Amino acid sequence: MEADRLPTLDELAAVVAARAGEPDARLGAAIGVGRELTDLGDALIGRFVAEARAAGLSWTEIGRLFGTSKQAVQQRYGPTTTDGGDWPGHWTSDVRRALDRAGEEARALDHDYIGTEHVLIALVGGDGGVAAAVLRELGVARDRMLATSCMRRGPSGRAPQECLPLMPRLKQALEHSRRIADGLDVRLADTEHLLAGIVAVPDSMAVEILRRLGVAPIDVHAALAERMGVGPQLLGVTRRRRRRLLG
C-alpha cells in the first residue's frame, strides 16, 4: 500500500478474512479490527494535537478545528502522561503499581501510548487484589491475552518515550473507576473499582480482548459484585447528562 493512501474497505475485509473463517467469527474479527482502528485513530489525533500544542496552538484554536469547546478537546486529548508513579486522583498503592506496570507493558510491546489493554494485562499479572482474583477466576491469563491480535507488537526501532500519553478510553475508564468508588463511599479506589471502570467503557480494547477470551462485561461485574458483597448495579456507571462528543 502506498504510504499516503489509507487502506480500502476491501483491504480491511481481507484482514478480517485472514483472521477468521466462519461468518460469526468474521463478524467478531471485524468488530475487533474496527476497535483497533478506532484506537489507532485516537493515537494518531493525539500525536498531532501534541504537535499542534508544541507549535503554539491554543486549546481554543484546537477545539475550533474539532468543532467543539476547548474544555472538551482538552479533556479528551490533554497532556495526561505517566513517568512512573505520578497518577492524579485518589488510588490505593495497588492501583498505582498496576498503572505503572501498564506503562511497562506498553513499552515492552513497543506501543507509544497506554490504553485499557495495557492496564488489563497489568491487573492480570498482579500478585494480589480483587481484580487479579476475579480475572483468574474468569480464565483471563496473560499468555491468552498476548495471543490475541489486539496485543500485537508495535514497530520496533523507535526511540523510547520517557512519558507515554494515556488513550482517551483509558481516561474514561479512570473517571468511571473513581465514580464507582465514590458511589460506594470508598475514598481510595482499588483494583476492583479500576477493573469495573475498564469494562464500563464498551468500545475499549480491553473489553474487546475479554470478548475474544469469552468473557463479557456482565460476567466481570457479577464476579466483582460477589467478591465485594455489593449489587452488580453499583458497579455500573451512572449516565450524566448527554453532551456533544468528539468525532
Range of the domain at 196: 80-235
DSSP for 161-201, written as a single string: PSSEEBPHHHHHHHHHHHHHHHHTT-SSB-HHHHHHHHHTS
Q: Which pLDDT belongs to residue 243?
A: 43
Task: Say what the pTM is.
Answer: 0.70
Of 39-48, 153-162, 213-222, minimum mean pLDDT range: 153-162
pLDDT at 240 over 50: no
More confidently predicted of 25 and 74: 25
Q: How many domains does the chain contain in total? A: 2
* In a shared domain, residues 101 and 6: no
Q: What is the pLDDT of residue 144?
A: 92
Residue 72, domain member (yes or no): no
For residue 159, the model assigns a pLDDT of: 57
Instruction: Give pLDDT, residue 137.
Output: 93
| 243 vs 127 pLDDT, higher one | 127
Q: Is residue 87 part of a domain?
A: yes
Q: Is residue 2 part of a domain?
A: yes
What's the mean pLDDT in 119-135?
A: 90
